[in-house]
Amino acid sequence: MRPLECYQYLLIFYTLQLRIRVAVVDDQALGRGGFAMVLEHQDDIDVVAEVGTGREAIEVARSHRPDVIVPRLLFAYERGSSRLATMTSVTE
């Protein structure tokens, strides 16, 4: 996407007053919940899912189709960067 197209996309979002659908991924419940709470206080953001593993994040990407996925890149037992690549391919 060229910069002008990106700007036009955001302008349409704000003109139509659409809400941005966000999924938060973090293996620590306190961090995940806190970050989701901060996002929920924004007028134009809906947190559609909070999950704790990369596998759950892939399922959320398939089922909820969020506009934005906020991942933790270093999980205790898996690498978030590899899951991020999978989530990207799922949502395209």
pLDDT above 90: percentage of residues in the chain: 22
> Distance between CA 58 and CA 64 in Å, rounded?
10
For position 74, which CATH number holds?
Answer: 3.40.50.2300
When divided into structural domains, the chain yields a total of 1
Assess if residue 86 is contained within a domain.
Answer: yes
pLDDT in tens, 4-44: 566 666 666 666 667 889 999 888 899 889 989 999 998 88
- Of 62, 63, 67, whose CA–CA distance to 86 is shortest? 62
> Which string of DSSP letters, residue by residue, matches 36-63?
HHHHHTSTTEEEEEEESSHHHHHHHHHH
Assess if residue 9 is contained within a domain.
Answer: no
C-alpha distance from residue 8 to each of 13, 78, 91 (Å): 9, 37, 21
